[in-house]
A = this chain, B = another copy of it.
Amino acid sequence: MLRPKPDETEKFMNSEQIIASLKDLMATGDAPGKVLTDPADLDTYGKDWTKIYPPKPLAIALPKTTEQVQALVKFANENQVALVPSGGRTGLSAGAVAANGEVVVAFDNMNQILDFNASDRTVRCQAGVVTEQLQNCAEDNGLYYPVDFASAGSSQLGGNLSTNAGGIKVIRYGMSRDWVAGLKVVTGKGDILDLNKDLEKNNTGYDLRHLFIGAEGTLGFITEATMKLSRKPDNLTVLVLGLNDLTNTMDVLQTFQKKIDLTAYEFFSHQAMGHVLAHGQVQAPFETEAPYYALLEFESVSDQVMDDAMALFEQCVENGWVLDGVISQSETQAQNLWQLRERISESIAPRTPYKNDISVVVSKVPGFLQEIDAVVTEHYPDFEIIWFGHIGDGNLHLNILKPEDMANEDFFEKCQQVNKWVFEIVERYQGSVSAEHGVGMTKKPYLQYTRSEAEIAYLRGIKQVFDPNGIMNPGKIFD
A interface residue numbers (CB < 8 A to B): 117-122, 142, 163-164, 166, 170, 174-175, 177-178, 181, 187, 191-195, 197-208, 210-211, 213-215, 219, 231, 250, 253-254, 257-259, 261, 301-305, 359-363, 390, 393-395, 430-439, 443, 447, 450-452, 454-456, 458-459, 461-462, 464-466, 477-478
Contact = CB atoms under 8 A, between A and B. Distances in A.
A477 B214 CA distance: 25
A198 B163 contact: no
Nearest to A438: B203
Most chain B Cβ neighbours within 10 Å, of A121, A178, A465: A465
A211 B207 contact: yes
B205 A477 contact: yes
Contacts of A191: 454, 458
A74 to B, nearest CB: 14
Given A120-B361, A304-B301, A458-B208, A431 B199 contact: yes
A434 B203 contact: yes
A432 B119 contact: no
Nearest to A476: B205
A200 B359 contact: yes
Given A193-B455, A206-B462, A465-B462, A393 B121 contact: no
Contacts of A197: 361, 430-432, 450
A166 B199 CA distance: 13
B214 A203 contact: yes
Contacts of A303: 302
A202 B450 CA distance: 9
A441 to B, nearest CB: 13
Contact of A163 (B203, B261, B452, B455): B203
A299 to B, nearest CB: 10
Nearest to A251: B119
A216 to B, nearest CB: 8
Q: 4 shortest A-B CB distances, which residue pairs?
A: A210-B210, A119-B363, A461-B465, A302-B302
A362 B210 contact: no
Nearest to A171: B200
28 contacts: A119-B254, A119-B363, A120-B361, A166-B203, A170-B200, A175-B201, A177-B207, A191-B454, A193-B455, A195-B455, A197-B450, A198-B361, A199-B361, A200-B393, A201-B395, A201-B436, A202-B434, A203-B432, A203-B438, A203-B439, A204-B447, A205-B447, A205-B477, A208-B458, A301-B304, A302-B304, A458-B465, A465-B465
